[in-house]
Structures are given as C-alpha cells and as structure tokens.
Amino acid sequence: MSALALSVLLSLVSAVAYAGGAIVQEQVAVSHPDEQYAPLRRPSWWAAVALNGLGGLLHVVALAYGPLSLVQPLGALTIVFALPMAALFVGRRAGATAWRGAIMATVGLAGLLSLVGASDAQSLSTAQRVFAGLVTAAAVVALMIAGRAAHRHPVVRSVLLATASGIAFGMSSVFTKTVAVDWSGGVSTADLPSLAAIGVLATAGLMLSQASYRGAGLAAPLATLTVVNPVVAAAVGITMFGETFRYGTTGTALALSCGVVAAGGLILLTTERIQRTHAEPEPAATVAPEGGGFVPAPAEEPAVAVLREGVLVDEVAALREELLVPAPATPAAPETAQPDGTAEELLENLGDQPPAYYGPFYGAAYIPVPVLDRHRTRVTS
C-alpha cells in the first residue's frame, strides 16, 4: 500500500473513531443528565475517551504519511459518519434537514481546509504563547458563562459549549505543533508550560464536548465541534505561523465562500434541533386541590337566578355524582363534609355564595353546582 493510500485509510478510520466516541458521549449524556462534564464512574464514558484518543492518534499518524491538505479535509467526515452510525447502533435517525446541514458543514469545512497552504515549520515565542493561552482561556470561560445563562434553551447552550470545546481542541493542536517544532532541535524543559497547556486544553475540550451533548442530540454539537476545531487551528496558523490561502485572492474568496457554506450547515443543524425540541409535546400536569376532591373548571359567570328559581335543582342533585370529575386522591386530611340532603337543603346551605362550575363535561352543557358553606358543617376526627 502506498503512503498516500495509507494516509487516506487512516484518516477515514480516525473519523469513524471520532464519530463512535461522539455517539457514546451523547448516550452517556442522555442516560446520566446529572453528570454533565465528567461522568468518571461510567465505563461507557471511558470507552468514549478511548475512541477519541484512538481517533487523535490515527489522525497524527495519517499526517505523517500524507499531506495536510488531504488529511485535514478527510477529518471533517466525522459528522457524515456519525449520522448513519447513530441510526444503526442506537436507533437515532436524522431528518432530511439534519442531513443537508451535515453535508453542507462537511463540504464547506473540507473546502476551507484544502485551500490553506503549507508553510515552513515555525514556533511561537514565549510572549505569543502566553497571549494565545490567555485569549483562549478568556474565550472558553466566556462561552461557558453564556452557556450557563442559556440553560433554558438546551440547543443554544449546547452550541455554545461545543464552540468552547472546539476552541480548546484547536488551541491544543496549535501548542502541539509548537512543541513538535521545538523538539526537532532537541527536547527542552522550556516546553513544560506548553505541555501543561496541551493537557489542560485537551481535558477541557473533552469535558465541554461531553456537556454539549446534554439535551441537544448528536448532530448540532458534533458538527459545531468538528468545524470550530480546525477553523481555529487554521486561523492561528494564518495569523501566527505565516500560513496563507492558496491561489492568492481567488483562494481567499473561495475560502470565505466555503466558510459561509459551513456556517449555513451549522445553522441548519441548530434550527432543525430547535424545531424538533419545540415539536415534542410536554405532558400536561394535573394539580389536585389540597385534600383531594373535585377539579374545578375555569371560573365563569354563575347562573344564580337559575338555582334561585328552582330550575334544574332536582336534576343537579340527581346528576351531581355522575357528572363531576374526581381529582386524584391525596393523603387524608381534615376535610369539610358534604352532607346529604334535598335540593332545598342545598339551597339553604348555599346562602349568599355563588355556585361554582365543575368540568369539563364533554358533549353536554356546564351545570352549576352549589358550593357548600364550609363554616357551617364540619366533620372532626
């Protein structure tokens, strides 16, 4: 097998490993929503960590055998592999809008990465590393705070956390490249802060990606992470490492167009998930009155005159038990007794209080029922 073919194969397997890790992370987030950042006691989460580690290792090996312009775009296939894998293994099917968004994000990202030209190996100065670390920390913390503030909108919160995760992973790659360039001239203890930054950023990216899958499904956070990670690394490469887009002004315009396509795909994925969330009906809660009893309908204008004139009084007394809707029983408590009696006694107990309406009664009119005076007759236990 040629080096180029081996690089392509390793890149594809790496994307599959990343997709598998994302699916497992999303399942952990669904099954254990109370442990959003690092469910350390869940074996399945460690399996996701292992899959992500395998994907990263294969990606690095693929870069050793093939050009960056080929390996990086192939890594964008993670989201395309994740959708059919999720449908096959966990029964989570994606709609047509999600597929369009995933394909748009992948094509836009692949085109953008393929237009980034290579440059000579360069490292960052100490001041540049400190500046990059501080800006990254500030951006990640700001996105985490924004995600916390958007807790009532799970999809928005998820996209914000996925963006923070992508920034952390992308800057981890930047520091990795810096250390690799430094080590080409020999190992030095001066790189220990950079190694520490790599560990912190990689760990933060993993935990933030885990939290991003809670309540937002798989496609939107995974696509956001897949796009933001290499875009951040490419942006730093252009601004700090002297990398440029190929084909001059034409390549720059094409790269911007690819960025717009990728952003459009992310918007489609996000709006599709928001629409699905709003379409899911919420179970209606029934609140029972204290101590049990009957569920009253919304207050309406009482027909006091109907009762006062004796119209339907006997019908009310006869149909009361049949028509009223009982509420769920609650633990026993001292209750007001409802004495048996004739319609005249009911009217006498009514006094000056207006009747209440109980319901709803489907297929029939509302029938006013007298409210007994709770201050007159009580049962003590």
pLDDT digit string, tens, across residues 315-372: 555 555 555 555 455 555 444 445 555 555 555 555 555 554 444 444 444 455 555 5
Which comes out higher in pLDDT, residue 377 or 127?
127
Please, which pLDDT band fits residue 237 given cuts at 50, 70 and 90?
confident
Q: Give me the mean pLDDT over the 35-63 stretch.
A: 84
Write down the mean pLDDT value for the chain: 75
CA distance 143 to 163: 8
Q: Give me the mean pLDDT over the 258-285 stretch.
A: 72
pLDDT of res. 277: 62
pLDDT of res. 125: 84
The DSSP call for residue 116 is B
Q: Give me the mean pLDDT over the 96-122 stretch.
A: 81
pLDDT of res. 268: 84
Give percent of the chain above pLDDT 90. Answer: 14
Q: Give me the mean pLDDT over the 255-262 stretch.
A: 89
Q: Give me the mean pLDDT over the 212-221 stretch.
A: 82
Measure Cα distances from 88 to 16, 22, 34, 97 in Å: 13, 14, 27, 19
CA distance 160 to 208: 10
Tell me the DSSP string of 274-331.
HHHHHHSPPPPP-PPPTTS-B-BPPP----HHHHHTTTTHHHHHHHHHHHS-BPPP-S
Measure Cα distances from 363 to 39, 298, 360, 366, 368 in Å: 53, 17, 9, 10, 16
CB 189 within 8 A of CB 254: no
pLDDT of res. 247: 82
The DSSP call for residue 184 is T
pLDDT of res. 72: 72
What would the pLDDT profile of 22-44 be if each residue is shown by its tens digit?
999 888 888 877 766 778 788 88
pLDDT of res. 279: 61
Which residues, in sequence order, are CB contacts of 309 under 8 Å at separation 6+?
none
The CB density around residue 299, as the number of other CB atoms within 10 Å, is 9
pLDDT of res. 378: 55
Q: Give me the mean pLDDT over the 230-249 stretch.
A: 81
CB 277 within 8 A of CB 223: no
Position 92 pLDDT exceeds 60: yes
Q: Which of 249, 246, 236, 7 is nearest to 122 (CA)?
A: 236
What would the pLDDT profile of 151-200 be if each residue is shown by its tens digit?
888 888 999 999 999 999 889 888 887 887 777 766 677 778 888 999 99
Position 132 pLDDT exceeds 70: yes
pLDDT of res. 143: 95
**Using omega within 30 degrees of 0 as the cis cutoff, is the peptide bond preceding 368 cis?**
no
